[in-house]
Amino acid sequence: MNTRTAIITGASAGLGLECARALLAADPSWHVVLAVRDVRRGSDAVAQLGRPDRCTVLEVDLASLSSVRSFVDAMRAAPLPPLHAIVCNAGVQVVSGTEKTAEGVEMTFGVNHLGHFALVQGLLDGLARPARIVVVSSGTHDPAKFTGMPSPNYTTAADIADPADITDAAEGRRRYTTSKLCNVLFTYELDRRLGHGARGVTVTAFDPGLMPGSGLARDYSAAGRWAWRYLFPALRVLPGVNSTRTSGRRLAALVHDDRFDAVTGAYVAGGRQIPSSKDSHDRAKARDLWETSEALLSHARK
| Residue numbers annotated as active site | 176
With b for 16 or more beta-carbon neighbours within 10 A and e for fewer, the 24-48 pattern comes to beeeeebbbbbbbbeeebbbebbee
Q: Calculate Rg over the CA atoms of the chain.
A: 18
- One-letter amino acid for residue 57 of the chain: V
List helix spans (H) across 28-134. Answer: 39-49, 65-77, 107-109, 116-123
Q: Which residues contact 75 (CB under 8 A, 6 or more apart)?
A: 7, 33, 58, 83, 123, 126
d(CA 232, CA 235): 5
Q: What are phi and psi of 301, to 5 degrees?
A: -80, -15
- CA-closest candidate to residue 264, choices 198, 207, 210: 198
Alpha-carbon 276 to chain mean position: 16
**Sheet with 30-36: strands ordered across:** 55-59, 30-36, 4-9, 83-88, 131-136, 201-207, 266-269, 272-273
Question: Does residue 207 contact residue 137 with C-beta atoms inside 8 Å?
Answer: yes
Q: What are phi and psi of 21, to 5 degrees?
A: -60, -45
Question: Does residue 45 contact residue 25 with C-beta atoms inside 8 Å?
Answer: no
